[in-house]
Structure 1
Amino acid sequence: MQTQLKMLCLGSLLAFSAVASAQTYGPKDEGRRFNDGSKVVCHNVEVQRNSKDPNRITGTAIGAVAGGLLGNQVGGGNGKKVATVAGAVAGGAAGRHIQGNQQSKNGDRVVERRCERRYP
């Protein structure tokens, strides 16, 4: 039991040290070459920033409520229940899509320079 515990601790320590030693590169390192033939390459990446609702929960919730209310107006009996659920699902998907379009139009995206080490 103690041997297994020691091996587990040693493995965890090695994994932690590998993660801790992972190096990050910035634009100042661009073009830097290493002895193994690898070099640092940078590129621009579009990322979303400063969004108040990145998961689009508000749009999904409002769409689901509206779709459920509209679906409830259709049919009768069990058909009415099915229409309500289907309306809520469709409305939620539509609300999420609409909110996503609005967020991308309102400039929630910025360009960021990211660098990484590339091997030949």
Structure 2
Amino acid sequence: MNIRPIHAIAAATLALATTGAVQAQTYGEQDEGRTFSDGSRVVCEDVEVRRGSKDPNRIAGTAAGAVIGGVVGSQIGSGKGRDLATVGGAIAGGAVGRKVQGDRQEARGDRVVERRCERVWR
């Protein structure tokens, strides 16, 4: 039985675990600018994040706008013109609905700016 490959696997696993532990450490604003012997340093930046939005992809606004636009478009013209107006109304309504929902989410403050710090190597 050859034990050496098992030792190599164990050493590789330990090396990966140690590297992951270093990267998993968190840094705060108090660490900004801190430098390490390997040439890395802590850099902080403001990041905009979405918080608590139940519909981040604005599907409800898009769907409601498309239905309303399609109904309005179906009232225009006749024959193939009516079909084109229905499709055009649905597309335009979907775009408007998505925009309206996005504006409302922005107004309610569904996005916040957080300060995040991480260790970078250069």
Q: Would you call these one fold, judging by a TM-score over 0.5?
A: yes
Identity %: 58
* 2:68 is aligned with 1:74: no
Unpaired segments ≥5 residues, structure 1: 1-9
Among 106, 110, 113, the residue aligned to 2:112: 110
Contact 1:42 1:115 (C-alpha < 8 Å) held by counterparts: yes
| Aligned-pair CA distance for 1:36 | 2.9
Among 43, 46, 49, the residue aligned to 1:47: 49
* 2:26 is aligned with 1:25: yes
RMSD of Structure 2 on Structure 1 (CA): 2.3
**TM-score for the superposition, normalised by structure 1:** 0.75
Among 59, 64, 67, the residue aligned to 1:65: 67
Deviations 1:17-40 (A, max 9, x none): 58x814353215432312232201
**TM-score for the superposition, normalised by structure 2:** 0.74
Structure 1 partner of 2:5? none
Whole-angstrom CA distance in 2 between matches of 1:26 and 1:100: 33
Task: Decide which structure has the larger Cα Rg and report it.
Answer: 2
**Superposed structure 1 runs of 4+ greater than 6 Å apart:** none
Structure 2 partner of 1:56? 58
Contact 1:41 1:118 (C-alpha < 8 Å) held by counterparts: yes
